Structure 1
Amino acid sequence: MIVAQSAASRLVVHTVLLAGAIVMVFPFLWMLLASATSQSEIFDGSLFPTPTVAGAIENYGRALTAIPLLRFMANGLIVCLAILVLQIAIAIPCGYALAKLSFPGRPLMLGAVLFGLLVPVQIPTIPIYIAIAKSGLVNSYAALILPWIISVFAIFLFRQFFVTFPDEVLDAARLDGFSELSIAWRIMLPAAWPAVASFSIFSVVAHWNDLYWPLVVTTDPDMMTPSLGIAYFRQSGEGAGHVGALMAGGVLVTAPLVAVFLLMQKHFIRGLVLGRH
């Protein structure tokens, strides 16, 4: 009886998960099919577009030539990697200090980090934009990168990871003459690769897909990031109304994120599980 109930429960759970997976995957599947379907056949009344080689050549060719899509993706790569490196460079020592060092005001600083997690990114937009505009940094990589180099989420994630690290190892390192920064970079960082992988996926996906901030500080097409570039393509004469080409651009912009997640999914899951302690 218990075995039957357990099997029934698993069946219900897997059915619900499968239904949710279908709902999540369907838009991407439709985008992939539409990206290889000619414009005249996308709206022929069928639920699933019918891809053809000619449709794929037309749509992907238009997406790559009508706008500088590769330039947009290169901008996105530069911005995402720069933000990620600087976020980790700042978050590792901060997380280590909050987890393993005793100093006045540590609980207050941890509370400030937790409070920062609750603040929407849109709230400080106006003062940050004014500072960037007065500094003459609009339409530059600095405008796209600098506001994001401190991530309270990264600090909290690494702090949670470092809390579980044995204090005996740190004491032995101090006896061997390691400074606190050396401990953070030479001991804590190598042990925190799962957390680094988890945060890297969060950071890259968030800033690769970000439309809000690039829309605020970027007007030059040469400085647009992938999401803003797709929106620019949709409003331009070449892309307006051409659904197949827009879907092709969406596939090209989405594919790198899917590849990164598939390559790092084991580290991503492990980092989240370890960070819960």
Structure 2
Amino acid sequence: MAPSLHRPQRLVADLPRLVLLGLLGLLFLMPYLWMVSVSLKPMDEVWRATLSLIPETLAIDKNYGRVFREVPIGRYLLNGVIVCAGILAFQLVFAIPAGYALAKLNFRGRDTLFAFVMLGLLIPAQVPAIPLYIAFAGTGLLNSYAALIAPSTISVFAIFMFRQFFRAMPDEMIQAARMDGLGEWSIVWRIVLPNAWPAATAFAIFSVVAHWNDLFWPLIAVSGKGELATPALGVIYFRTEEAGDDFGALMAAATLTTLPLVAAFLLAQRRFVEGITMTGLKG
């Protein structure tokens, strides 16, 4: 009975915080809501002086139909799935053992190696772009999935994130596995990895969002309006060649390319929050 009596008081005490969080969430959500709203409007409503989220006349067939008729949007989305899945798989394969070694193994130069990992976080993607382009051009790998995936296979952010997560794992569990005769590789894949799914899910969200929306490197690695365009590059093609000033169709294309990200985050949000909470920032 006592907890039920205190529940209204807790709700009243939390109300200002909930209202503030709700307003901030709505503020960050407004650009996406406006994009969806414009994708449903005819052109005469888009250019009106008054702003309204709810369309008076739906132009779904015109805007979304034009996207499906004039650009291979399905192919662009498939390319995004292939590229993001390939990048994420390689990043996890490299980052999990590296993070485990930096967190749980004692070897000479470990702190120095971790310092280089931290320095790697400071290097923007634009710095190695020209050497990578020259290397891929020299090997004939431009305009291929390899050119889109290979430069991002090693993520220093993933190594840092898993290192922080593994430092929070109890050493007793690792020691017990060693006493049972497991080698370090077996410990990584049979003991550590099953317990690292929250961190892996959190990093997967970061990785997929970053590379799904990446325009810089695909614009360099893929030339022409080919079949290897990623979603962000596909929207650029549609904007420059097909849509023109038809912002309703352009926003329809943008909505279709961002919808998989929204769905993926909604499905993985619990694991994402759990992974971020458990990773922390232990020194």
- Is 1:120 aligned to 2:124, yes or no? yes
> Which residue is equivalent to 2:228?
223
Cα distance in 2 between the residues matched to 1:229 and 1:161? 36
Which AA in structure 2 matches 1:222?
Answer: E
Q: 1:53 to 1:60 in 2, by over 3 A?
A: farther
- Mapped pair 1:153 → 2:157: yes
Check 1:247–1:165 CA distance in 2 against 1; reply closer, same or farther (3 A cut). Answer: same
- 1:123-162 residue CA offsets vs partner (Å, 9 max, x unmatched): 1111111111111111110010000000011111111111
What is the distance in 2 between the residues matched to 1:271 and 1:49? 35
How many percent of aligned residue pairs carry the same amino acid? 49
- Measured in 2, the distance between the counterparts of 1:166 and 1:54 equals 57
Q: Is the 8 A contact 1:36 1:55 kept in 2?
A: yes
Tell me the equivalent position of 1:109: 113
Q: Give the alignment partner of residue 72 of structure 2, picking from 65, 68, 71.
A: 68
For residue 207 of structure 2, the aligned residue among 194, 200, 203 is 203
Q: Does structure 1 residue 177 correspond to structure 2 residue 181?
A: yes
| Between 22-31 and 103-112, the greater mean CA deviation after superposition | 22-31
Q: Does structure 2 conserve the Cα–Cα contact (< 8 Å) formed by 1:41 and 1:49?
A: no
C-alpha contact 1:41 1:50 (8 A) present in aligned 2? no
Q: What one-letter code is carried by the residue in structure 1 that aligns with 2:82?
A: I
Residue 34 and residue 186 in structure 1: after superposition, are their counterparts in 2 closer, same or farther (change >3 A)?
same
Q: Do the aligned partners of residues 219 and 266 (structure 1) sit closer, same or farther apart at CA in structure 2, a change above 3 Å counting? A: same
- How far the C-alpha of 1:54 sits from its partner, in A, is 5.3
Tell me: CA distance 1:49–1:157, structure 2 relative to 1, closer, same or farther (3 Å): closer
CA contact (8 A) 1:32 1:251 kept: yes
Q: Compute the displacement of 1:49 (Å).
A: 5.3
From 221, 230, 235, give the equivalent of 2:240. Answer: 235
CA distance in 1, matches of 2:216, 2:134: 16
Aligned-pair CA distance for 1:115: 0.8
Distance change in 2, residues 1:52/1:7 (3 Å) = closer
Which aligned runs of 4 or more in structure 1 are off by greater than 3 angstroms?
A: 6-19, 49-54
Q: Distance in 2 between matches of 1:259 and 1:86?
A: 23
Gaps of 5+ in 2: 1-9
Q: 1:11 Cα deviation (Å)?
A: 5.8
1:3 alignment partner in structure 2: none
Alpha-carbon distance, 1:110 to partner: 0.5
Which amino acid in the other structure matches residue 223 of structure 1?
L
After superposition, the CA RMSD in angstroms is: 1.9
State how far apart, in whole Å, the 2-side matches of 1:14 and 1:129 are: 49
Bigger mean CA offset, 54-63 vs 191-200: 54-63
Q: Is contact 2:174–2:187 with CA below 8 Å preserved after alignment?
A: yes
Paired with 1:66 and 1:50, the residues of 2 have a C-alpha distance of 26
Whole-Å Cα distance in 1 between the matches of residues 97 and 266 of structure 2? 29
Identify the residue that residue 263 of structure 1 maps to in structure 2. Answer: 267
Is the CA contact (8 Å cut-off) linking 1:230 and 1:249 kept in structure 2? yes
Give the TM-score normalised by structure 2: 0.90
- Asked if 1 retains the 8 angstrom alpha-carbon contact of 2:37 and 2:55, the reply is yes
State the one-letter code of the partner of 2:254: G
| Mean Cα deviation higher: 8-17 or 127-136 | 8-17
Cα pair 1:198 1:271 within 8 Å, conserved: yes
Q: Which residue of 2 aligns with 1:131?
A: 135
How big is the shift at 1:175?
A: 2.0
Between 1:36-45 and 1:215-224, the stretch displaced more is: 36-45
